[in-house]
Each structure stands twice: as C-alpha cells, then as structure tokens.
Amino acid sequence: MSGPLAETSGGPLAGLRVLELGSLIAGPFCGKTLADFGAEVVKIEPPGEGDPLRKWRRMRNGVSLWWHVQSRNKRSVTCDLRRPEGQEIVRRLARENPKLVLVRISGYGQSGPYRSRPGFAAIAEGMAGFRHVTGFPDRPPVRPNLSIGDTIASLHGVIGALMALHAGKGQVVDVALYEAMFNCMESLLPEYDAGGFVRERSGSTLPGIAPSNLYPCRDGAYVLIAGNADSLYRRLMSAIGREDLRDDPALARNDGRAAQMEHIDAAIASWTQERDLVEILDLMEKAEVPAGRIYSAADIAADPHFAARGMIQEVIAGDGEPLKVPGIVPKLSATPGAIRSPAPKLGEHTDQVLKELGYSSKAIQELRQSKII
C-alpha cells in the first residue's frame, strides 16, 4: 500500500494505491473496504481461473454473485507471481515506497509456535473461543452461516493499515485470524481468570444481561426484545402489564435481574405468546423499548429503512444484468464512500495498468505469450 500514485475520483482515500495480493475473503474484503472510500485497488490474480472466489457459492452466468460485492471498485490484473517477470510487475506497482504498509492476514500471525500452520477462519473461530459459546447448551457448537472470522480479521487489517498510514512509517500490519476473533470475545478471559468461570453456549439468551432474548409470538413468528437497561426494563414491564416485576426492588438493577432471568423471560414469553408479531412490535415502539423481528434476505430487500439509508444499491454486473448489492458502511458526512465501478472481469485492466507502468505494447504481448499475464 502506497500513495499517492494514480488519480482516483472522490472519497477520503483518493490518491492511495492498494495492491491486493490475497484471494478469497479476508484480504479482498480489506481491499473492498478501502476501495469503497476512494483507494485505487489493483487486484492481482493468477492467469487462467483468477481468484477462487469467482466460483464460490451461488453463481449467475458462470460468475459468483458474491464476487460482485467483494470486488467492486477494483481493477483486475492477471500476473503469475511464481515467476520472476510476474514478481517484477508487482515491484514496479509498489515502486519501492519507503512508507509502504504491508498488511498480512494469516491464521496464526507471523510469529509464535503456530505461525507456519495453515489456517482458515473456521479454525480461528474455534481457537478464539467463539465457536464454544455459539449455539444451544444441549447441542454441539455451531457455526454462523457466514465467514465471520474472515470479515472481522479484514476489518482489523483496515484499521491497522489506516493507523500505519497515519503514522507515516513503512511497516507490517500483522493480523491473525484467531486474534481478531479473540479481540471480540469481551470478558471471556477475565471471567475465567478471576474465578474459573467458563462461558458456555446459551442459545438465544445472553447470560448476565437481562432481559434480552428471542420470544415466541402467537402467529408462529419470533420477536427480539432487549429491555436490559434499567429504564428500558421498567418501560417493558409497564407495557406487558407486569408492574409487580417493574416495582420489585430486587430487579431494579441488571445484577438482580440476571439472577432471576428465567422468571423474567417466562413472564415476557407468556405475554408475547398471546399476540401476533406486528402487534408486539407496535406496542414496543410506543413503549420505546428496542424490539425487532428476524429478517431474511427477502425482508432486507423490501425494507424501507435499508433503502432510505442507501444500503440497497444496484450495479450492472459483468453480464450486463442489474444486481442489488449492499451499500457503503460507514456513512461519512463530508467524504462519503461510493460504488464507482462494478467488479472486474478477470484481467480486465491488465494492459491498462501495465501501460501506466511503462510497459510497451510489444512487452505486454510477450508477457501474454509467455503466460506471465
């Protein structure tokens, strides 16, 4: 990562060049986030098949739908990094910048006894303690239907890159997948150290914080209600007609409520089971108590708040068809991010980028004939 080099249009990171040498999820998500805010991201892919993500999960016209999210705002250059000529291309792109920042995302980091082990996010989630606490207590640990460990690690990579750029010194940002997940495990370790307490799976509840749970509705739906702040708890109990629980001094603070969590949850569930989801949400909104339903992809696509916040964007994919994709996060008031270009076809910008580096048309042709690009 270096800059400024190529001119880019808009965004707080305009003028910053990022060379994306990773594949699949963690590194490319890091690149996507930087690209969304104006960085010029040159994605290096192996000739032939390119990034394996191009063929992951559901596809349309032979290209992963995920690809159109992960690789927007990037330029694709094919380059065989196993050969000296391909390595030279990357060196010229980096231009030996003394302020170069290298972000390395790996399973276990660049030091320590596990540094040479192969690692994927699924393994890191287990090592960090995340899988141990995910699921219901009477069942095996489960995984979320997402590559959450990769995404969390990549966001740490973005933070590290921006801090290093702010420091103005060339350095390595060393992100380990398991450490990124461990960083999100709250009080898991001190709870064990202070008293030998091992946090376990708890299903839809959050032990020690009450009330905050998933409750059944009369129409077969489920509602999420979070009344765990003291004032919220009082408003919630008033809304469900349980003034006895509202006014009980033993339940005035969270520690007291946590000790009687099952009793409180049973009272709330008894109330929700007699009402449909829409009625519950309306009553909770009037009582100013946080509540919501479980959204599916269809719910997200139809929700007016997602649309109003610009979180449902439409791009023209490489096959010429429109495609809805997630919008930009976070929102910056003065220098917002934007989707400036769709995900590239494999090697779409190879010739363009090499010419910017000073390669002649003849040299580019020779590199292509040698299958370097």
Look at residue 263 in the predicted model and tell me its pLDDT: 97
Look at residue 6 in the predicted model and tell me its pLDDT: 38
pTM: 0.92
Q: Are 74 and 43 contacting, i.e. CB atoms less than 8 angstroms apart?
A: yes
pLDDT at residue 82 is higher than 80: yes
Look up the CATH number of domain 212-293.
Answer: 3.30.1540.10
Look at residue 1 in the predicted model and tell me its pLDDT: 45
**CA 303 to mean position of chain CA atoms:** 21
Of 325, 303, 300, give the one whose Cα is nearest residue 315: 325
Q: Quick one: pLDDT band at residue 9, thresholds 50, 70, 90?
A: low
Which residues participate in catalysis according to the annotation? 150
Q: Where are the domains of the chain?
A: 17-184+326-369, 212-293
The number of residues making up the chain comes to 373
Same fold for the pair 17-184+326-369 and 212-293: no
Look at residue 318 in the predicted model and tell me its pLDDT: 84
Of 103, 91, 93, give the one whose Cα is nearest residue 163: 103
Cβ neighbours for 279, distance < 8 A, ≥ 6 positions apart: none
The per-residue pLDDT of the chain, averaged, comes to 95
* Number of alpha carbons in the 13 Å side-chain half-sphere of residue 46: 12
Across 51-62, average pLDDT = 95
The rounded radius of gyration (Å) of the Cα atoms in the chain is: 25
Tens of pLDDT, residue by residue over 248-282, are 999 999 999 999 999 999 999 999 999 999 999 99
Look up the CATH number of domain 17-184+326-369.
Answer: 3.40.50.10540
Token digits of residue 273: 């089971």
pLDDT at residue 212 is higher than 70: yes
pLDDT at residue 95 is higher than 90: no
